[in-house]
Amino acid sequence: MSRDTSLTPDDAGSSSTVGSVGEFGLIARVTAGRTYPDTVLLGPGDDAAVVAAADGRVVVTTDMLVEGRHFRRDWSSPRDIGRKAIAQNGADIAAMGARCTAFVVALSCPADLTVADAEDLNAGLWDEASRAGAAVVGGDVTAGDHLVVSVTALGDLAGASPIRRDGARPGDVLAVSGPTGASAAGYALLAASVQGHPDLRAAHRVPRPDYDAGPAAAAAGATAMCDVSDGLLADAAHLAAASGVLLAVESARLPIPSLLRQAATELGVDVLDWALAGGEDHALLATFPDDDALPPGWTAVGRVGEVGDVGAGTVTVDGTEWTGARGWTSF
């Protein structure tokens, strides 16, 4: 947990390293001058932080980003990495129908990481935490060979029931909160060193979850919901398995921006591969009792069906059981 921030950091320039200013010097720098919302009852600097949980319950999720696995420092700036680490955790809070209240961050970094880079990473954490309506209330910094950013997000349900993955019922409408595939497209462009398409490349570096979409879906009566992190079909399969249903996706209804289609044509790939199998956009996937229930911004992309002869967890695309790439796996 963050330590005493009253310790004075060394008077080192921006070219100094994390190793030279030390753990306490770095923490003093990254917490200096921050202001906290009223819901942060005790911020960084003690053994632990204290955050309001007015609802009497707290939603909690954790996700770790590892250098070389979830990001490349030659593709992503430290600020991008910080934003991404917060975004993917904040999206998990939104996927329960909750709003983010606080983040804590544990960071392992090489001692030769510059203080400037560490401060940029911290700025990214704070930027995205602010976008999510919350603050970074504590953390830990330690030495390690690689950059590892581990974030835990807390959220508040404001009296609502959490929207789980297991509530989808046959007849429900399947919907997404926004387009999927931009992160996969950005990855493909970066990997192929194809120029142009700055928006898609940025989408890979920094997902931009709509943190309001989750609570809006909950208020609209969503029956099940999850974050699309592994790919639309992969996450649909998780939701279908948890709910004991089949999910039938209609590809023609997927929201696919024209710039995504253009990039797919340029690279000679099927745009549906990106939209259906690409992960890390952190759109939300949810089921609703009927079409009229969808909140603004959500798009119906299919229907919840009976399992019938196929197994629970089956996902079909245009009536055919999907057998292609189901998205990203960790190992």
Beta bridge partners of 317: 249, 320
Distance in Å, CB of 108 to a copy of itself, minimum: 5
Which of residues 116 and 242 has its CB atom nearest to a copy of itself in the complex? 242
Encode 304-325: b = buried (16+ Cβ within 10 Å), e = exposed: bbeeeeeeebbbbbeeeebeee
Distance in Å, CB of 33 to a copy of itself, minimum: 18
For residues 143 and 21, give the distance between their C-alpha atoms in angstroms, rounded to a whole number.
Answer: 12
Distance in Å, CB of 296 to a copy of itself, minimum: 22
Alpha carbon of residue 128 to chain centroid: 11
What are the C-alpha distances in Å from 292 to residues 173, 248, 287, 289?
Answer: 10, 19, 12, 8
For residues 139 and 144, give the distance between their C-alpha atoms in angstroms, rounded to a whole number.
Answer: 16
Which of residues 86 and 95 has its CB atom nearest to a copy of itself in the complex? 95
Distance in Å, CB of 4 to a copy of itself, minimum: 4
Which of residues 131 and 238 has its CB atom nearest to a copy of itself in the complex? 238
Distance in Å, CB of 267 to a copy of itself, minimum: 26
- The set of residues, in sequence order, having a beta carbon less than 8 Å from that of 321 and lying 6+ positions away, is 310, 314, 315
Nearest to 77 by CA among 112, 46, 109, 121: 121
Which of residues 132 and 263 has its CB atom nearest to a copy of itself in the complex? 132
Which of residues 143 and 192 has its CB atom nearest to a copy of itself in the complex? 143
Which of residues 145 and 270 has its CB atom nearest to a copy of itself in the complex? 145
With contact defined as beta carbons under 8 Å apart, do 287 and 221 qualify? no
186 by Cβ neighbours in 10 Å (0-12 / 13-18 / 19+) ranks as: buried
What the block records as the tokens of 262 is 């253009």
Distance in Å, CB of 20 to a copy of itself, minimum: 8
